[in-house]
Structure 1
Amino acid sequence: MLSIRKLQHLLNHQRGQGMVEMALLMCFAVAVVVGVNWDSFKESMGIPYLRMAKRVGMNTSTTNPVDISAYATMPTSELRQIDNAERIAADKATMTALGEFLLTLNKSDIANLFPGTKESRWTGTDGSGKPGVALFDYCIENAGDNGEALKVKLRHNDAGYLSNQQAIQWLQGNYDKNTEPYKGNKSEIVSNRFFYSNDAIDPRPQAHLTKGEQSATLWAAFTFDSGGDVTSVKLSMSRSYQENGNSGAWKRTNCEGLTDVVVSK
C-alpha cells in the first residue's frame, strides 16, 4: 500500500507544481484512504497515466506498468467487463497529457492546424453550441464481437478539423504541431480504438433516436494571453447522432467523465 510517508515525500517533491500535478496527488491520497495498492493503481491507469506522470517529473519506476494497449483491439463485450471508472481514468489521463502539449501552442500554430476556422471557434464562443474546435472525430463501424473484426471509421474532416492521423499521433504521445490540412478518404477504416470508456466505445444511437450515423468527437477550447499564447485548454468528448438516418439533424451528448477537462498554465 502507498504509505503516508511516500505520499508526503511526493507532496514535498511536487510543491509549487500546477493543477495537473495536484490532481495526480489527490488521486494518491484517495489511494491511501481506500487502501489501493500503488502498483495496482498504476496498472489500472496504464500508459496514458504514466506518460502524464513522467511529464510532470513524478517517479513511476517502482514496477513495470501493465500495457493497456490490448484495450484498443479487444471486443467491446470483453472491454465492458473492465471497470468503467478505470477506463474513464485512462481516457481522462490521455486527454490531460494532450492538454499539456496544447498549452505550448499559440494563435499562429492553431491557425495553421485548423485552417478556415475563426478565433471564436477556437475559444468555443462562436454561438454554434459546439464546445470548441474538433480535434478528432470517429465512429464505431463494428464492435468486434461475435468473432468479427473491430472496425473504427475515421470520419471526414471538414474545415476546422485537425488531420486524423496527426490527432492519432498526438493521442499516442508523439507531439508535433507541423501538419497539413486533412486530405484523406472519408471511409478510412482502422482496427483499433483510441478511447476506452463506455460512452466512447458505444456504437449505438440513443434510444429515442432513429438509428443513423453516430460518432465520437474530441473537442478543444482555448484561452490566450495578450501575446497570443495558449494559457488554458478545455477538452471534452461528446457523442453525436444523426436523427432519422443520414438526412436528419445531429444531436450531441457528453461522454461520462470526459467533459470540461481543463489544463492550464
Structure 2
Amino acid sequence: MQIDLTGKTAIVTGSTQGIGFASAKGLAEAGATVLVNGRGEEAVDGAVAAIRRERPQASLIGFAADLGTAEGCAALIEARPQCDILVNNVGIFGPQDFFETPDSEWTRFFEVNVMSGVRLSRAYLPGMAQSGWGRVVFLSSESALNIPADMIHYGFTKTAVLAVARGLAKRMAGTGVTVNSVLPGPTLSDGVAAMLADEVEETGKTLEEAARAFVMEHRPSSIIQRAASVEEVANMVVYACSLQASATTGAALRVDGGVVDSL
C-alpha cells in the first residue's frame, strides 16, 4: 500500500514530541503539508528542524499556540482557516487520586484533552465537507475503555473523545469526511520516558526494559508484553488519514497491544 497525501494540508496538534511528532513526520513523509504545533516557538522550531533533517523536502509549517485554551485555538483558526486533515492529538496525563483531584484539574484536563478537538473540529469540518473530502483523527486511549483507578480524570476525558468522534462521524455522514479515534495503549513516548527516568537510573535497565516491566506490572493483559513505539501508533494515524481509509469512519482504532480484553 502506497499512501500518497500530496496536495493535502494537515494540522497535527501537540506535535513537537511523542505520538504527535511521529504522526506529523509520517504525514509529511506521505507528501502532506503539515502544520507542527506546540506551546512554544523553540519547541516548534526544534520539531520542524528534526523532521527536515530526515526529510529535507518535507513541506512544514510551524505554529506555536496553547490549544488547551479557546484563545489558542482561535489564533490557529485565524492563521490557518482551512485544512484537509486534522489530527487532534494534544493532550495531558498524569496520575492523581480521585479524592485529591480538585475541580481545577478536572477542568484543565477537559479543556486540553476534549475541548481543543471540539473547537478545532467545529472550525475545520465545514470546509472539509464543502470540498467533499477530509480526515479527522482524535487521539483517545485504551484508558477510555479501561479507566485507570489512579487517573479517573484522564480516563474520563478519553472516553469523552470517543463519544465526540463517533458523534461527529455520524454528523458528517455522506460528506466524504471521515472521523475516527485512535486508541494507543502503553507507548514509549517522551512523557513515559520521563516518568521512568528514575527507575532507569536506579536499576541500570534500558528504557525499553523499564517500559516492559511497567507494562507487565500495570497492564498485565498486554498481549505484546511491551510498550508500543510512537511510530507504531503513528502508522495507524497516517492510515486513518489516507485516501485508502475511505470506508473507515466512526471507528475506535486500537493500537493498545491487546491490553483491552475484549473481542
TM-score range, shorter chain: under 0.3
- Structure with more strand by fraction: 1
What is the TM-score of this pair, normalised by structure 2?
Answer: 0.27
- Which has the larger Rg? 1
- Structure with more helix by fraction: 2
